[in-house]
């Protein structure tokens, strides 16, 4: 099949490459000429394991190319995936739909001259419920809109696309469903579940799923606060809860909370849309979920202050992690960088290390200091904060690292380090929600 992907940011670039990997002929469209040039050369503009090799393979095979023209897209295929961003509006929690509206509007005009009798526009962007129905009103008679939400996790997006847990298709006609089944035929033959529904339900699936996952994260972090007050152990609590199959262990990982480009903005947008519908009370709990998540950052700063002797003035603080999650260079709404900036403003000298996100972090937070190796980041540190759970940090030698810091004090907010080994090496270790063992 011939397909277009409009918007080649994180979702669009991955989706375009994976569609080409499945054997389709794909045209990626974006107004950012530098991004288009990089992608056409097989260079993804962000770090995502496996994506670079797939881009080069599909571009070299001639199944994937890129353009800056929506008119070219309209003449290239009869099925168009819209993968542009929906950031949070600066003055509210609502989603900014300007990019989605611009993509659909920009495609509509040349659709009047398209050689195809029937055209399908497929939204993958995360949008408030009702967006598809509103956009459909201005489409030409031979075009219709469907919604096919993405469920990608940064760091394993290629695998999530090629081995999906489900494919949700919100359609208004049997033709549209058949078309999407044809797009994903290889995945369906491999056993991927296909859930056909209406566009409104498909829009809700993504927001409801992210809201539920965010609630699980904030719930266990709220329990971590209770554990700190009572001497209980949040890791044992989470394991015991997760052993119940009705609850499950996933997303019951206590720590610094969630960040990134999806969960924070999605729960705020969902709450804003519910309020616009007069149903704010139905999802009022999401405001508390958001507050609990934000509170973890403040709690982390306070834990670090105590480890630093009650003040950050004249203290050197080492930060391990800048990306919002491992296997990504994405720093959008990074809890790690939010903590680092707060500590810097409180008087500390802060040096940050991250395996992939240093360049992005430096561009966004130039007042922080950065190091390309962990030992340099920790040199003469009074406290080391473990804020992003990169697997490389689990391999650190606490004995060797103790020789470069000024004070061997560690705050493990992600609960992934072997704290017994660090304590045995002479470190004072704190982990929120866990009893003090030293």
pLDDT tens profile 301-316:
999 999 999 999 999 9
Question: Cα separation of 22 and 63, whole Å?
Answer: 10
**Domain range for residue 352?**
297-430
Burial class of residue 225, CB neighbours in 10 A (0-12, 13-18, 19+)? middle
Phi, psi of 417 (to 5 degrees): -90, 155
Q: 175: Cβ–Cβ under 8 A, 6 or more apart, which residues?
A: 118, 120
One domain for residues 31 and 177: yes
One domain for residues 272 and 175: no
One domain for residues 193 and 263: no
Identify the domain boundary among 145, 165, 197: 197
One domain for residues 64 and 121: yes
Query: Which residue is associated with the tokens 């760091």?
Result: 155
Q: What is the pLDDT of residues 386-414, one digit of tens each?
A: 999 999 999 999 999 999 999 999 999 99
Give pLDDT, residue 91.
83
* Residue 438 falls inside a structural domain: no
One domain for residues 353 and 410: yes
One domain for residues 274 and 321: no
CATH label of the domain that carries residue 243: 1.10.1040.10
Element holding 374 (H helix, E strand): helix 374-378
Identify the domain boundary among 139, 165, 197: 197
* Residue 6 falls inside a structural domain: yes
**Rounded average pLDDT over 53-60:** 97
CATH label of the domain that carries residue 324: 3.40.50.720
Give pLDDT, residue 109.
86
One domain for residues 315 and 372: yes
Counting the structural domains of the chain, the total is 3
Positions annotated as catalytic residues are: 262
Is the pTM value of this prediction over 0.85?
A: yes
One domain for residues 27 and 170: yes
Taking the CA atoms of residue 39, residue 41, residue 46 and residue 47 in that order, the dihedral angle to the nearest 10 degrees is 130
Return the exposure string of 247-270: e unless at least 16 CB atoms fall within 10 Å of the residue's CB, then b: eeeebbbbbbbbbbbbbbbbbbbb
Give pLDDT, residue 111.
87
Written as six digits, the tokens of 16 are: 């375009």
Written as six digits, the tokens of 424 are: 């045995």
* Residue 52 falls inside a structural domain: yes
* Residue 109 falls inside a structural domain: yes
Q: What is the pLDDT of residues 290-347, one digit of tens each?
A: 999 999 999 999 999 999 999 999 999 999 999 999 999 999 999 999 999 999 999 9
Rounded to 5°, the CA angle 182-184-186 comes to 100
Q: In what order do the strands lie in the sheet with 194-197?
A: 64-67, 25-29, 2-6, 79-82, 119-123, 143-147, 167-170, 194-197
One domain for residues 174 and 220: no
Give pLDDT, residue 409.
98
Q: Is the model's pLDDT at 437 over the cut of 80? A: no
Identify the domain boundary among 197, 223, 240: 197
CB 433 within 8 A of CB 223: yes
Q: What is the pLDDT of residues 13-43, one digit of tens each?
A: 999 999 999 999 999 999 999 999 999 999 9
* Residue 138 falls inside a structural domain: yes
One domain for residues 139 and 229: no
Phi, psi of 419 (to 5 degrees): -65, -30
Query: Which residue is associated with the tokens 């937070």?
Result: 365
Question: Cα separation of 133 and 62, whole Å?
Answer: 35
* Residue 435 falls inside a structural domain: no
One domain for residues 312 and 336: yes
One domain for residues 269 and 405: no
* Residue 436 falls inside a structural domain: no
Query: Which residue is associated with the tokens 């119940």?
Result: 244
Give pLDDT, residue 438.
56
Q: What is the pLDDT of residues 135-159, one digit of tens each?
A: 999 999 999 999 999 999 999 999 9
Specify which residues 88 forms β-bridges with.
Answer: 95
Question: Cα separation of 26 and 44, whole Å?
Answer: 16
Q: What is the pLDDT of residues 221-272, one digit of tens each?
A: 999 999 999 999 999 999 999 999 999 999 999 999 999 989 999 999 999 9
């Amino acid at each position: 099949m011939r397909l277009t992907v409009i918007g080649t940011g994180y979702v669009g670039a991955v989706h375009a490459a994976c569609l080409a990997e499945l054997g389709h002929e794909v045209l990626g469209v974006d107004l950012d000429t530098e991004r288009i040039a990089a992608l056409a050369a097989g260079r993804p503009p962000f770090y995502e394991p496996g994506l670079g090799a797939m881009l080069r393979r599909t571009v070299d095979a001639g199944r994937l190319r890129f353009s800056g023209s929506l008119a070219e897209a309209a003449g290239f295929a009869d099925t168009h995936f819209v993968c542009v961003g929906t950031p949070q509006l600066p003055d509210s929690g609502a989603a900014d739909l300007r990019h989605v509206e611009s993509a659909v509007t920009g495609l509509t005009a040349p659709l009047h001259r398209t050689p195809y009798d029937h055209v399908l526009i497929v939204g993958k962007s995360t949008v408030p419920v009702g967006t598809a129905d509103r956009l459909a009103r201005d489409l030409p008679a031979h075009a219709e809109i469907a919604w096919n939400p993405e469920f990608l996790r940064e760091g394993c997006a290629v695998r999530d696309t090629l081995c999906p847990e489900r494919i949700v298709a919100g359609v208004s006609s049997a033709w549209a469903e058949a078309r999407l089944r044809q797009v994903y035929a290889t995945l369906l033959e491999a056993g991927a579940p296909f859930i056909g529904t209406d566009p409104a339900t498909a829009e809700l699936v993504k927001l409801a799923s992210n809201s539920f996952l965010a609630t699980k994260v904030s719930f266990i972090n709220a329990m971590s606060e209770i554990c700190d007050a009572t001497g209980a152990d949040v890791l044992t609590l989470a394991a015991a809860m997760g052993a119940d199959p009705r609850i499950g262990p996933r997303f019951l990982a206590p720590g610094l909370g969630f960040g990134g480009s999806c969960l924070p903005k999605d729960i705020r947008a969902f709450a804003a849309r519910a309020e616009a519908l007069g149903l704010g009370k139905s999802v009022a709990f999401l405001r508390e979920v958001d507050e609990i998540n934000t509170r973890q950052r403040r709690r982390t700063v306070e834990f670090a202050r105590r480890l630093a002797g009650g003040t950050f003035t004249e203290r050197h603080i080492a930060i391990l992690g800048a990306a919002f999650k491992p296997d990504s260079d994405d720093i959008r709404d990074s809890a790690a960088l939010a903590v680092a900036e707060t500590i810097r403003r409180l008087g500390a000298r802060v040096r940050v290390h991250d395996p992939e996100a240093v360049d992005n972090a430096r561009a966004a937070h130039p007042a922080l200091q950065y190091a390309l190796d962990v030992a340099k980041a920790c040199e003469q540190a009074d406290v080391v904060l473990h804020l992003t759970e990169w697997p490389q940090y689990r391999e650190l030698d606490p004995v060797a690292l103790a020789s470069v810091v000024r004070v061997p004090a560690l705050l493990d907010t992600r609960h992934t380090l072997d704290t017994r080994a660090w304590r045995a090496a002479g470190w004072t270790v704190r982990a929120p929600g866990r009893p003090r063992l030293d």
